[in-house]
Chain A
Amino acid sequence: MTAFDATVRLVYLAVAATFVIGLHLMNSPVTARRGNLLSAGAMTVAVAATLVVLVHAGSVRPWAWLALAAGAALGAGAGLLMARRVAMTAMPELVSLFNAVGGGAAALIGVQDFTGRGGSLPIALDVLIGGVTFSGSLIASGKLHGVVPGRPLVFPGARPLTAVLALVMVAASVLLVAGVAEGWALVALAAGALGFGVTMVLPIGGADMPVVISLLNAFTGTAVAMAGFALGNGMLITAGALVGASGAILTKLMADAMNRSIANIVAGGFGTGDSAPALTGGGGRVRSLSADDAAIQLAYAARVVVVPGYGLAAAQAQHQLRELAELLEQRGVRVSYAVHPVAGRMPGHMNVLLAEAGVPYDQLADMDEANAAMPQTDVALVVGANDVVNPAARRPGTAVSGMPIIDADKARSVIVIKRSMGHGYAGIDNELYTDARTGMYFADAKKALAELTAAVKVLVG
């Protein structure tokens, strides 16, 4: 190894180590931003060092330089534009899109490497995983954006088709690894992988997107690591493995928070909102509240916990919520937010939406913290959340059974802001709504919160 090669490898090692430190700094909101900047710095060094390698080699054709420069400029511009413009509610679409391009790039590296050196296991896995990630993430992004219908799409013959595609991928991979195949096997592998990505994500419902995005994130990382194997580049392997681990952890956490296995989610068909309603006890009376009743309850409480659900974000009511919370705090009410892991459409999404509205992060409680404090809470204010506060989850035999929930029903009283008595994704009645201590305030979240804020101001000045 020449001194030049050794130096490059040491720089790559430093970059990989810095990625680890950068992710480690994500452990706290205080240091997270610094961690991301550190990681970006390492990325800049990695790209600069690789450019030096290219110049040093001196064998890059002028057309290849041009293709690189033009591609990078186009990609960087598009990425920057999207990152600047995206609304925080649309974050899952964007993350999914970046998964797609990352996986796609990894797969293309595999293709290019094949044309130079022939087949190998890493190349086959790279193209396979990268291809599945690319098309799967595009479909997921499309579903979240509403371009592709969010409901599970199951067409006749979908399952046999998926099985055939899986078979094509395996057969083509085996031929590539054995070294008996030509380019056509790579084309078959790529086509099989792209098709499989589509048939894998189409039947999965919108409610399961937090799991799907996490899973595809893990896939992208793995694809990049495989590209690293193909190129013999340890930096790509480390970075890819870190992302793979991160995606795997989040996938597991999200699946646990829904009380479902990953296999069950990928098998699809859930999250339709039209499954047969399970029988629930009683069907008790619903108590409807006026704005004044609700305002008085909130204003004279010592402790209020807000339970936000996706309905809040859909109504874009985070800012009204923060206004109400600040008004209550001025009166000495302690306000915190109980955030369920699957509130929103990707892991932790609701926290970002609340942070955007100016809610300080020390008021954001995770499920365990929030539940521990619930018995000392005067009012649980549920805004646009449904299944994640349904006490039926504690009993066996319902669609939500076993799912960890926010124990809103353990607070001294409950106010639910909701547009109607409609069902959530699980498609069952919510016993919390008919609880004797619960008052329902039927309105759109944005309007309701504005009315409550006005009522608090008028009543208690």
Chain B
Amino acid sequence: MSTQFLADLSVFVLSLLVGFEVIGKVPTTLHTPLMSAANSVHGIVLAGALIIALAADGVLGYALVFVTAAFAAANVVGGYVVTDRMLEMFRPRKDAS
């Protein structure tokens, strides 16, 4: 087991715990936007899609890069836009009465 793997594993476990801690407090009212926001966050695979382009060579490689980039970009852009659309609708009472 390499040092790199152990470091990555530590990050993974601690991030999971941070996630439980932070997300456990989100009120049920916001669960749909929360899931949609989390959905946008996993759009970070777009960065992964860029990284695999580094090694891409040959038709199969290019095709993989193309599809991966398309999937990830749809995830990122769509995710953030639709989450914003939803959250914009959550408004407090207009008057203070």
Contacts and interface: CB of A to CB of B under 8 A. Distances in A.
A51 B28 CA distance: 38
A240 B5 CA distance: 16
B39 to A, nearest CB: 5
Interface string A35-63: 11101100100110011011001011101
Contacts of B66: 67-68, 70-71
A88 B77 CA distance: 17
A10 interface: no
Contact of A221 (B38, B50, B83): B38
Contact of B29 (A54, A91, A237, A348): A348
A75 interface: yes
Contacts of B70: 71-72, 74-75, 78
A335 to B, nearest CB: 11
Interface string B22-54: 111111111111111111111111111111111
B11 to A, nearest CB: 5
Nearest to A37: B84
A394 B64 CA distance: 54
Interface residues of B, number: 84
Contact of A102 (B11, B32, B42, B82): B42
Nearest to B63: A67
Contacts of A352: 32-33, 86, 89
A390 B65 CA distance: 52
Given A47-B47, A71-B67, A105-B49, A242 B40 contact: no
Interface of B: 4-5, 7-8, 11-13, 15-20, 22-57, 60-94
Contact of B32 (A76, A79, A237, A349): A349
B91 A23 contact: no
Interface string A154-179: 00000000000000000000000000
Nearest to A242: B19
B9 to A, nearest CB: 8
A237 B10 CA distance: 10
Interface residues of A, number: 117
B33 A348 contact: yes
A324 B18 CA distance: 43
A23 B22 contact: yes
Contacts of B90: 29, 32-33, 355, 361
Contacts of A240: 42, 44
Contacts of A19: 41, 44
Interface of A: 16, 19-20, 22-24, 26-30, 32-33, 35-37, 39-40, 43, 46-47, 50-51, 53-54, 57, 59-61, 63-68, 70-76, 78-80, 82-84, 86, 88, 91, 94-95, 98-99, 101-102, 104-106, 108-109, 111-113, 115-116, 213-214, 217, 220-221, 224-225, 227-229, 231-250, 253, 339, 341, 344, 346-349, 351-352, 355-356, 358, 360-364, 366-367
Contact of A347 (B22, B28, B68): B28
Contacts of A40: 40, 80, 84
Given A68-B50, A83-B82, A245-B15, 13 more contacts: A32-B30, A36-B33, A46-B44, A72-B46, A99-B39, A104-B67, A105-B46, A105-B75, A108-B68, A220-B42, A231-B51, A249-B19, A346-B31
20 contacts: A23-B19, A26-B30, A26-B37, A27-B27, A29-B29, A32-B87, A36-B83, A43-B43, A54-B51, A64-B56, A67-B56, A70-B66, A71-B67, A71-B68, A75-B74, A80-B77, A99-B39, A115-B60, A245-B16, A360-B91
B43 A102 contact: yes
B88 to A, nearest CB: 6
B92 A360 contact: yes
Contacts of B84: 33, 36-37, 40
A246 B23 contact: yes
Contacts of B44: 19, 43, 46, 224, 235-236, 239-240
B54 to A, nearest CB: 6
